[in-house]
Amino acid sequence: MLSTTHQQLADELGSVREIVSRLLKGFAAQGLVSLGREQITLIDRPGLQRIASV
């Protein structure tokens, strides 16, 4: 589990909150992560790694 806000994550990545939020919602819809208030929980690490390697 990662405790952070979308804004903090965007700042770390050099992106904007809207893009991070859109990506995280997409990952959640695919069952890769679970989103909560200031929490991101990895559900399918291999699935995320497959996306990252594309």
Please state the domain extents for the chain. 2-52
Q: How far apart are the first and last CA of the chain?
A: 24
* 3-31 pLDDT tens trace: 999 999 999 999 999 999 999 999 999 99
Phi, psi of 3, rounded to the nearest 5 degrees: -100, 105
Q: Has residue 41 got a pLDDT over 90?
A: yes
Question: What CATH class does 2-52 carry?
Answer: mainly alpha
Distance CA 31, CA 26 (A): 9
Q: Has residue 54 got a pLDDT over 90?
A: no
- Residue 43's pLDDT is 97
Q: Has residue 52 got a pLDDT over 90?
A: yes
